[in-house]
Chains A and B, each alone.
Chain A
Amino acid sequence: MSSTTNTPTHHTSTIGSIGAPSRRNTELALLVFAVVIPVFAYANVGLALNEQVPSGLLSYGLGLGLLAGVAHLVVRKFAPYADPLLLPLATLLNGLGLVAIWRLDQSKLLQRIHQAGTAAPRQLLYTALGIALFIVVLIFLKDHRVLQRYTYISMVGALFLLLLPLVPGLGQNIYGAKIWISVAGFSIQPGEFAKIVLAIFFAGYLMVKRDALALASRRVLGVYLPRGRDLGPIIVVWAISILILVFETDLGTSLLFFGMFVIMLYVATERTSWIFFGLLMSSVGAVGVASIEPHVKMRVQAWLDPMHEYALSQQGVPGHSEQAMQALWAFGSGGTLGTGWGQGHSELIKFAANSDFILATFGEELGLAGLMALLLIYGLIVERGVRTALAARDPFGKLLAIGLSGAFALQVFVVAGGVMGLIPLTGMTMPFLAYGGSSVIANWALIGILLRISDTARRPAPAPATNPDAEMTQVVRPS
């Protein structure tokens, strides 16, 4: 064999694919931390609030440990080469979220306001369901490319999910945003699931159309302008996200879907002009709707002057909420190091303190230091997702992975930015941390798909049979 066969064709990506270690033991070691840290946090809350270790500590620790352990075993069996960081990071966030939800359950103020007090056990149930879905994804989705077959079914499914909240009698209006539906007493956010389904559709669609979109374009003023008919899809998606904004009055959901599409379009076509178009269209859309639609307008005003919004809510003017200002006070009162678990007063946010605004609890009780660590964990998840996309060998896998991680990043930005007053508030929640079944279940599925893609990407190529000569040649090859 000549040395030409050794041209490192597979080494364009940063992750080597041949002979890569499975890293399952790394994952296991990290998982131990991901379970132990929340258990300590849980004990900490109990000590701070009641001066005793909470009685549920053992069952909580065992529950979380069991879930993480089962997930790990399934990964070990069905996706042995998957990314070792994603599972521990998601487990850590989920565990800390449970602790914060339990901590808010203990607040007498919140107990008085709504039926709360039982959110943590429910969230543990949702977590179990989420991990079950994660396991199902890993067991039954042997190869992510299978999803490619369902491109157009996904489109229909995504549209269906997105439109569900608008169905009369089914949709729920919570604080103005219509992104929930109510089924048999459960509130479901279809948008969380739509996020994944839509990513599948975009990936499949763009993989087929990317050449047409990328190559057939005219260059005007240094920018590649796509042909009119190729503009069609982006305009349709844009129109749909505007419709979401108008009818569901949620800036976050709208931004998330459009942003995800632009990211995937850009990656598929490698044309910077799409980014430019995307930004232009989304700002035109957002500004346009914000200046017309009263509820969105109100949210923007509340964002610009949260203090005034607070004053209005204190005067009892309907439609105004003190939450935004209360969240800012929570962050400020936390300061650099925070008050410590259980010693803050984030319950003053009242409504949605344990879901949309859960980040404020972390900000107040863990301080700047803790919250930055938390944001970096999210950053790390996104980074692992992007790395999976880089490592993936097929365009569909690349697109799907970047779509999912991009959407995840946008969601984190939209929610955290909203709670911290950087952008107007939206009705979405922090993945894994916040109370809410849809969010937890959908995001576990998302992690499952990313793990599947990364497993496929890092799995040693089955093809060329090992040839001792090749190794020999490699060794003697001059550098």
Chain B
Amino acid sequence: MNKPLRRIAIFCGLLVLTLLIRDNWLQYVKADDLATDDKNRRVNIARYATPRGDIIVGGKAITGSVENTSGDFKYKRTWKDGAMWAPVTGYSSQAFGANQLEALEDGILTGNDDRLFFRNTLDMITGKKKEGGSVVTTLNAAAQKAAYEGLGNNKGAVAALDPATGKILALVSTPSYDPSKFAGNTDDDAKAWNAVQKKNDRDDPMLNRALRETYPPGSTFKVVTAAAALENGKVSGIDDKTDSPLPYQLPDSRTELKNEGNIPCENATLRIALRYSCNTVFAKLSDSVGNEKMIEQAEKFGFNNKKLDTPVRAAQSVYPEDNRPQNAMDGIGQASNTATPLQMAMVASAVANDGKLMQPYMVDQLRASNLDVIETTQPKQFSQAVSSETAQKLQQMMETVVKEGTGTKAQIDGVTVGGKTGTAQHGLNNSEKPYAWFISYAKLSDGSSPVAVAVVVEDGAANRDDITGGGLAAPIAKAVMEAVIGTKK
């Protein structure tokens, strides 16, 4: 009987060997896949096991962490003025994931980033608990507050940039949401989350309008058309008369384009046309520049860029390929021309910075938990949008708009302000309330320009005539510019 016994012994040995091989497969070969599977709850347990690092504005944290009393996720994210900062930070929820900076800089905030590996290993040896690093933003708290309060109960967005560096100074979207309300994973969090979803709230508070919503830019786009006309030699001087009929019949079309109100647009100079916001003049200019060159100029300002990362990616602003009549309409910021508030702030910023467009960014530094700087973002030129001569001409024109044109409400004592209003039609047959736009920059007495801003107000409760860029949007832009100048002093 011993021979079969020995064989059975071998068989039993094989059974154990099979288990050992399977174990090696699971715990060695497949271990990483299983351990980092995003459905594996341990991933989130580890993620919330230590207090999350903070997002910092002007030296102060705008986020925090509280210890959970129940559940297996130890720490929960909190925000100070969550609704105001949500367009910057995004949310980080135990139940619903994260977005924007909270998601993009998650590695630093949780302390899991590869660049922190050495530090973490050292901490492990010395027995120190792992801590998240912090993200220092470029934002300006005063400007953000001015913009948020300026928009008030209106639906809209503000984007403000530092023209010389591209630093994002303000990024506001209203109505907004408080990410603190659904940072956990309880039923209350789920309720709060559901309440702000688009399907349950028509105002879509989760939408980051400053970065992720595109609007027809309306008359604010005339700055770009003017730039294209000057750069392509269609107009020699800003005070030379243009050949502009009134009304202007769109090319290849019977549609006659008119202006809003009775304004002196016939053969108006560029400066006058911008001051009064003449549709006829700029539509004709757009046509004479041509679709191809218009696209080229728009792209130099940042249009048609699918990957505009701040690092949060902005939606693509589009200057489309179009036929002649449509191109003429695109030239006054209508038809299929769409832009994000950030895009229009970039236009104002490029003009203010003598034609040099800086890449917009909002993360200044990444820091380890012991405040060591891991990475600093260096300002980077995005493009030379226009020549410096053209930029100066555009500045003169935009300053005229604020001094004596449609943008007088943006005037600031002792500061030169250049701007452009816009009232963009939208909806079927322009039936809906138009969007009120205002883009501007401020120039100090020393010639430096600390801020460029774009404001869009979707539909004020006011009647149609009142919703003009000059009326609704300009005061908000003014408040933001004042806030930035105030912090400079």
Contacts and interface: CB of A to CB of B under 8 A. Distances in A.
Interface string B14-34: 011011101110111011111
A227 to B, nearest CB: 20
B8 A334 contact: no
A328 B40 CA distance: 10
Contact of B35 (A333, A395, A398, A412): A333
Contact of B2 (A13, A412, A413, A421): A13
B12 A386 contact: yes
A373 to B, nearest CB: 10
A420 interface: yes
B40 A333 contact: yes
The interface residues of chain B, by DSSP majority, are classed as helix
A348 interface: yes
Given A266-B8, A406-B8, A417-B22, A12 B2 contact: yes
A331 B40 CA distance: 11
A405 B24 CA distance: 25
Contacts of B26: 328, 331-332, 363, 420-421
Contact of A333 (B19, B39, B42): B42
A216 B180 CA distance: 82
Interface in A368-386: 368, 371-372, 375-376, 378-379, 382-383, 386
A336 B8 contact: no
Contact of B31 (A109, A266, A332, A410): A332
Nearest to A395: B1
Contacts of B27: 331-332, 334-336, 363, 367-368, 371
B245 to A, nearest CB: 66
A329 B40 contact: yes
B22 A333 contact: no
A410 B14 CA distance: 11
A332 B12 contact: no
Interface string A323-356: 0010011011111100000000100100000000
Given A267-B8, A268-B1, A389-B5, A332 B35 contact: yes
Contact of A409 (B15, B22, B42): B15
Contacts of B447: none
B234 interface: no
Contacts of B13: 379, 383
Contacts of A372: 20, 23-24
A406 B31 contact: no
B9 interface: yes
A164 interface: no
Nearest to B39: A310
Interface string B110-149: 0000000000000000000000000000000000000000
A268 B31 CA distance: 43
Nearest to B30: A332
Given A310-B39, A348-B41, A417-B22, A383 B12 contact: yes
A335 B31 contact: yes
Nearest to B17: A379
A335 B41 CA distance: 16
A270 interface: yes
Contacts of A410: 15
Interface in B309-345: none
A336 B28 contact: yes
A144 to B, nearest CB: 16
Interface in A406-424: 406, 409-410, 412-413, 416-417, 420-422
**Most interface-central of B4, B18, B32 (chain A CB within 10 A):** B4
Contacts of A395: 1
A336 B35 CA distance: 12
Contacts of B32: 332, 335
Interface string B399-421: 00000000000000000000000
Contacts of B9: 383, 386, 390
B23 A368 contact: yes
A298 interface: no
A333 B32 CA distance: 7
**Most interface-central of A307, A376, A378, A409 (chain B CB within 10 A):** A409
Contacts of A405: 12
Contact of A329 (B16, B23, B37): B37
Interface in B30-57: 30-35, 37, 39-42, 45
Nearest to B33: A332
Contact of B34 (A310, A329, A348, A402): A329
A263 interface: yes
B19 A345 contact: no
B6 interface: yes
A345 B23 contact: no
B72 interface: yes
A331 B5 contact: no
A413 B15 contact: yes
B489 interface: no
Contacts of B19: 375, 412-413, 416-417, 420, 422
9 contacts: A267-B5, A270-B3, A331-B27, A333-B31, A333-B35, A335-B32, A363-B26, A376-B16, A386-B12
The 7 tightest CB contacts between A and B, nearest first, are A332-B34, A368-B27, A379-B16, A409-B12, A386-B9, A329-B40, A413-B15
Interface of A: 12-13, 109, 263, 266-268, 270, 307, 310, 325, 328-329, 331-336, 345, 348, 363, 367-368, 371-372, 375-376, 378-379, 382-383, 386, 389-390, 395, 398-399, 402, 405-406, 409-410, 412-413, 416-417, 420-422
Given A307-B39, A331-B23, A379-B12, 17 more contacts: A267-B4, A329-B34, A329-B42, A331-B31, A332-B30, A335-B28, A336-B31, A345-B42, A371-B27, A375-B23, A386-B5, A390-B9, A395-B1, A405-B12, A413-B18, A413-B19, A420-B26
